[in-house]
Amino acid sequence: MLWTRLLGIVLAETDGDRVRVDILAKHFRRYFRELARPYATWRQVDTITGLRCERAFNLDGHSVVTPLADPSHHLRAWVDFGGLGPSIHDRLALVTTVTVEKQSLWSPPHELGFPERGLALVGAVRLLKPGVPRLHCHANGQLSSFRFERPSGWGDLEGEPIGNEKEAAIESKDIPRVRALWKDLLPRYQRRWAFATREPRIDIPLRRFGRAYENTWWLDRVVDLTVAIEALIGPSDQQELRHRVALRAAHLLGSRGNPSQVVYECVRTMYDARSTMVHGRRADEKQQAKWLSTLSGLEYDYNRGIYPLIEPALETAREIVSRLIRGCMKLASESAPQPSWPLPDDFDRLILEPSERRLWQRKFQL
């Protein structure tokens, strides 16, 4: 392998005419210098579908988000994606570069992570922006003229866009918020790949929120989103669950642009759909159309069917959950006794007071 690589470099420099001794000696010395060097530079590339960005920007000292999404370009190497590889939907890449002490041949440096950097970026964008971005391809390898390990890659981690799903867009003004939320989410995604007997409470709704992008049937997505809502603001006594959770969401998220009554009806509808699914009942098109019309705010057209309503309805449900997650994360990070998260046992009484309600709502009007 070494001699094949070395000969290819030498012949390329001499136009393939003959092997010149001076050129062969130059590259042979380069090889031994690299062999003796205690450090190696590694690069990881994650390509993302359904996401575009106005300009490249740094996430931290290692990672750069760039609109150029060609892993081979970033890795300077051919990468085997198992026959899948980047697609026309890959509009953006997360490129991470680290220089570390040389590892064993089969173990990339842990600073690269596996896909958690890309998953955390996708999660941050999902919580902040409308649209359906997905982590698609993942690859890593050494940046070296004489690589001691073949670059590796995986494709179709979260799939490609489905149907008429909306593309998310990061504008320049969004970059500080994306960066801050990415740094907050990264440790949570890293825990997913480690054994843990207990997990922070916020990880449960975050995981369900992420699953709602991975399932293909819209009712399965609604089930995950409803479980996330319940994990965030559900009462501990489980009494009148559907009504109380919908009322809590309406109080917290209601605003002039998003009236409390609309939020209340949407969350109740999500609970109705979830109950039908988890109890094994079948919802016909008429029932599905009723749920989708409530969530999307659009009229059902019998001639067109329910398909045009699905994505607007899911976007409404995702927005409700993302706002609740961001608000609860903000409350959990603050040291003040009130407002706080998890919600106190007397929350239903507190929220009825106008002054208290405004105090809580300010945390969720993000």
pLDDT digits (tens, 9 = 90+) for 48-96: 999 999 899 999 989 999 998 777 778 776 676 665 677 778 889 999 9
With a cut of 80, say whether residue 32 has pLDDT above it: no
Instruction: Flag whether 287 is in a domain.
Output: yes
3-state secondary structure of 11: helix
Instruction: Flag whether 318 is in a domain.
Output: yes
With a cut of 60, say whether residue 5 has pLDDT above it: yes
The answer to whether residues 115 and 237 belong to one domain is no
20: pLDDT confidence band, cut at 50, 70 and 90? confident
With a cut of 80, say whether residue 192 has pLDDT above it: no
pLDDT digits (tens, 9 = 90+) for 288-313: 999 999 999 999 888 888 989 999 99
What is the structure's pLDDT at 258? 81
The answer to whether residues 102 and 139 belong to one domain is yes
Instruction: Flag whether 189 is in a domain.
Output: no
The answer to whether residues 132 and 91 belong to one domain is yes
pLDDT greater at residue 13 or residue 42: 42
pTM for this structure?
0.86
pLDDT digits (tens, 9 = 90+) for 247-279: 999 999 988 778 899 999 999 999 999 999 888
Domain boundary among 159, 174, 189: 174
The answer to whether residues 140 and 288 belong to one domain is no
The answer to whether residues 303 and 313 belong to one domain is yes
CA distance 249 to 106: 49
pLDDT digits (tens, 9 = 90+) for 133-189: 999 988 888 887 666 666 788 888 887 777 678 899 999 999 999 999 999 999 888
Q: Which domain holds residue 13?
A: 1-36
The answer to whether residues 335 and 204 belong to one domain is yes
pLDDT digits (tens, 9 = 90+) for 316-362: 999 999 999 999 999 998 877 788 899 998 999 999 999 999 999 98
The answer to whether residues 207 and 354 belong to one domain is yes
With a cut of 90, say whether residue 13 has pLDDT above it: no
pLDDT greater at residue 35 or residue 290: 290
What is the structure's pLDDT at 169? 94
pLDDT greater at residue 48 or residue 190: 48
Instruction: Flag whether 188 is in a domain.
Output: no
At 215, give phi and psi (nearest 5°).
Answer: -65, 150
With a cut of 90, say whether residue 281 has pLDDT above it: no
Instruction: Flag whether 10 is in a domain.
Output: yes
Query: Domain count of the chain?
Result: 3
Beta bridge partners of 44: 96, 140
What residue ranges in the chain does DSSP mark as E strands?
39-49, 51-53, 57-58, 63-66, 90-101, 134-142, 152-154, 168-170
What is the structure's pLDDT at 105? 56
User: What does the CA dihedral 329, 253, 133, 174 come to, rounded to 10 degrees?
Assistant: -70
Domain boundary among 140, 159, 174: 174
The answer to whether residues 31 and 48 belong to one domain is no
Instruction: Flag whether 183 is in a domain.
Output: no
What is the structure's pLDDT at 302? 85
pLDDT greater at residue 9 or residue 340: 340
Q: What rounded mean pLDDT belongs to the chain?
A: 85
Residue 23 buriedness (CB in 10 A; 0-12 / 13-18 / 19+): middle
The answer to whether residues 102 and 161 belong to one domain is yes
pLDDT digits (tens, 9 = 90+) for 219-231: 999 999 999 999 9
Nearest by Cα to 127 from 83, 170, 165: 170
CA distance 357 to 354: 5
The answer to whether residues 133 and 219 belong to one domain is no
The answer to whether residues 108 and 250 belong to one domain is no
With a cut of 70, say whether residue 1 has pLDDT above it: no
The answer to whether residues 7 and 116 belong to one domain is no
CB-based contact 133:51 (threshold 8 Å): yes
Instruction: Flag whether 180 is in a domain.
Output: no
Instruction: Flag whether 283 is in a domain.
Output: yes
With a cut of 70, say whether residue 106 has pLDDT above it: no
